[in-house]
Amino acid sequence: MEKLSPGWQTFDHVADIGIRGIGYTVEEAFENGAHALFSLLVDNPASIECRNEIDIECSSFDLTALFVAWINKLISISDMKHMVFGRFRVVINANSLSGKAIGEKWSVEKHGRGIEVKGATFTEALVEKREGLWIAQCVVDV
């Protein structure tokens, strides 16, 4: 694993690709994991303007499954609303998440075209605290 510091990373998988969020809190790790996802979907994530806010809620049976559910929720909402997101706010209570994704309508001209993500998987999935930082990660099927 690359050196830990708050932010997002992608990591190797033989056929697909891993996304990883790192933060001082578990919520920050989830938010940064979402940034890693949108770094795959668009070519220029810095160009995403935060114009509209979408409420997101999901729950699962443990924290790792909750991270997978959070990423899957973002993929489906991005698809259905044809939006991309550049800022995230997450509150976690036990194994439930309520959050916001803030972004705008997706535009090839403005954001560029990355790769399609089919779904978040449990491969290499984990949510844990290491060296004082929270890590949330999984491999996504592309």
Return residues touching other proteins (CB under 8 A): 10-17, 41, 43, 60-61, 65, 69, 72, 75-76, 79-80, 82, 106, 108, 112-123, 125, 141-142
* Beta carbon of residue 141, minimum distance to other proteins (angstroms, whole number): 5
Give 118 or 130: the residue with its C-beta nearer to other proteins. 118
Give 69 or 90: the residue with its C-beta nearer to other proteins. 69
Q: Which two tokens stand for residue 34?
A: 């979402």
Give 10 or 98: the residue with its C-beta nearer to other proteins. 10
Task: Write out the E strands in the chain.
Answer: 7-12, 17-23, 52-59, 83-93, 96-105, 119-120, 126-130, 133-141
Q: Please, which residues have CB within 8 angstroms of residue 8's CB and are 6 or more apart in sequence?
A: 19, 20, 21, 22, 32, 33, 35, 36, 39
* Beta carbon of residue 122, minimum distance to other proteins (angstroms, whole number): 4
Give 53 or 79: the residue with its C-beta nearer to other proteins. 79
> Which alpha helices (H) appear in 88-127, and where do they start and end?
108-111
* Beta carbon of residue 24, minimum distance to other proteins (angstroms, whole number): 26
